[in-house]
Amino acid sequence: MVRHEPGGEPGIASGGASGVKAVVFDVGGVLAHPPGGPMAPPKEFFGPSDGDTDHPWHRLERGEIGLADLFRDAMSGKLPGGMPMPPMPSGMPAGMPAPPISAVPPPGGRMPPGMPLPPPFTLDRDYLALAERLAAAGVPLALCTNAVRELEPLWWDLHPWDDLFPVIVRSHELGARKPDPLLFHTVLERLGTTAAETLLLDDSPGNIAAAAELGFATVLVAGEPREVAARVWAAVGRTDEAGAGDEVGEPGGPDEPAHLAPTQEIIQKAAAESPDPTRADEVLESVRELAAAVASRSAEIEAAGRIPADVVEALRKTGLLGALFPTHLGGPAMTPYQIVCAIEELAYADASVAWCAAIGIDAGLCAMHWDDEQVRALFPAPDRLLAAVLPPLGRGRRVAGGYRVSGRWTMASGIEAADHVLCGILSEDTTPAWRVALLDAAEVRVLDTWHSTGLRGTGSHDFEAHDVFVARANTYEFTAPPLRTDPLYATADHLVAKMAGVALGIGRAALDAARDRLTDKTDPMTRQKAARNPRVQAEFAHAETLVGAARAYVRTTLQDSWSALAEGRTPERGPGALARRYAFRACREAVQTLYDLVGSQAVYTDRLPLDRHLRDITTACQHIAVQDRMLETVGDLRLGGEPFSPFL
């Protein structure tokens, strides 16, 4: 190894092939490149590249002045220090007053109103691929960049940087810029490494020299990316197994970062594919057989407060738990409405079993965000039962390779039978994010908290985790678009529509139970059969109308959405959420109506199931995806707003 001298050939500073444990990347000129062409200011505009001076741009990167101050002088032709005038953005006349410094946003914010945003940076695929491979090999990474806070969107929005770099140091946050040693010392403190254990990858000879003086290993970014990458791998004492034999950054190669699928790609795939009705029918038939066996065990399930083990195993064999998996990973290729129908069959027999099944199939959410290899490793077969609580009720402390997860989560349906749990966390990254972590059920402690009105058999207890390590790869960002293009993932409504099946099944079961009782019931005062009473007839018909209308509304919205995809159109947001919420409210009204029609016999838990149906539907209506707030959300959307909701 040789120490790099400014202006010489790129090399590696002292540190030894086995001594380097962490790598620090620069952004501009390494991971991303500023715009060139006619919009690019001359180099003199940015001041000396290898020093830290009182030049206005250096002061800007230290956060001492704002971009508005600099542009104010630029637009008036009064740049300090002989700085040349930068090119004026199109449509912005010279002399136009810049916004006051008070309008400049805080770090990570956007440009002030009225100030043009320059063209964005472009990613350097070669060095991004190098960083991804280093991370995959378990090498801790950091970013250390001289950054202007108002211009961060130009590079920050290009990539989820904090997914890759647990440590990010920006000049404007410290009031200092490279080559000031403060930035390098801050990086070491946050990484928990010494200078000799840390390598700096930078395109500035001045920064390289300053870091080398502190004892860093260094690699100057110059020449062919493959040669630079080879020096980095030599410094960390690892082999680039993922990239062996491939051209760095070759499009379509293994080092090409995964991109989120645009909606149009999902639409095109849907238009070219259709579900296999044979497989879907097989799942539905298996579910019906299970429902018939479960119907006689509802009292047992409610008393036990959990789903029996043999029922769980039978549920696995139906194929329903894989409903949200892609077909090539074993999914049964069911449409969203077919999934609703399957859940309805179970709910007709027992609402608790149906509810746990509807939540349990959320293993497919992981398949939506992870690649095939990872999904197969975690779910060898798509028959795993999940308990899922997605709101970020826990915290994820960032450590090498992942997070230490701690917290307490509420109402985890089916957790006593679950193989895994999905839990929402607030990650303690440089930019905190709502992430979802996959834990083994054995890693959490179940708390006896589920003493409920209805759905008692779900065993929806709270659970807690204490400092459980979760690999970064076993998490995903909750708000991230799907990685896959399968039509099932095109809208959030496709993924939560299954819940409507619970309400429809309860409603249908209550209709049949009430019909059986009313046809036998005789009014003790008039000696008339209740079924011959016009009021009873009208109320019963009203209840049936409510359930039928709910089913039709759910079916129509889901089929319309699916048809839109098949025809190459974007599905409409909102109708599915309204139909789902209506199904629960309509079925609750129907069950209450039937309960009242049957009268005093309905109160006996050991004579009729209507008491359980009423309690189950009342409890189910409290789920966040079907509460009345959905009316506000969809109303906001319809009236021109842009509400955030994971259920639209």
Residues 136 and 271 in one domain: no
Q: Is 37 helix (H, G, I), strand (E, B) or coil?
A: helix
Mean pLDDT in residue range 9-33: 72
535 by Cβ neighbours in 10 Å (0-12 / 13-18 / 19+) ranks as exposed
Q: Tens digit of pLDDT for each residue in 356-389?
A: 999 999 998 888 899 999 999 999 989 999 999 9
Q: Give the pair of three-digit tokens for residue 438.
A: 């996959």
Gap between the Cα atoms of 544 and 503, Å rounded:
13
Residues 417 and 457 in one domain: yes
Task: Show which of 249, 274, 309 is a domain's final residue.
Answer: 249
Does the pLDDT at position 312 exceed 80? yes
Residues 34 and 130 in one domain: yes
Task: Show which of 249, 272, 300 is a domain's final residue.
Answer: 249
Q: Tens digit of pLDDT for each residue in 203-223?
A: 988 899 999 999 999 999 988
Does the pLDDT at position 87 exceed 80? no
Task: Show which of 194, 224, 249 is a domain's final residue.
Answer: 249
| pLDDT for res 85 | 45
Q: Between 88 and 122, name the one with better pLDDT.
A: 122
Please report, for residues 23, 41, 50, 169, 181, the alpha-carbon distance to residue 186 in angstroms, rounded to integers and kept in the order given.
14, 31, 20, 7, 9
| pLDDT for res 281 | 87
Q: Is 145 helix (H, G, I), strand (E, B) or coil?
A: strand
Under 8 Å between Cβ of 214 and 180? no
Residues 99 and 225 in one domain: yes
Give 69's pLDDT tier (boundaries 50, 70, 90): low
Residue span of the structural domain in which 457 resides:
262-334+351-483
Give 311's pLDDT tier (boundaries 50, 70, 90): very high
| pLDDT for res 149 | 82
Q: Tens digit of pLDDT for each residue in 326-356?
A: 888 999 888 999 999 999 999 999 999 999 9
Under 8 Å between Cβ of 193 and 140? yes
| pLDDT for res 642 | 84
Percent of the chain's residues with pLDDT above 90: 53
Residues 426 and 539 in one domain: no
Residues 403 and 497 in one domain: no
Residues 216 and 189 in one domain: yes
432 by Cβ neighbours in 10 Å (0-12 / 13-18 / 19+) ranks as middle
* Domain presence at residue 339: no
pTM, to two decimals? 0.61
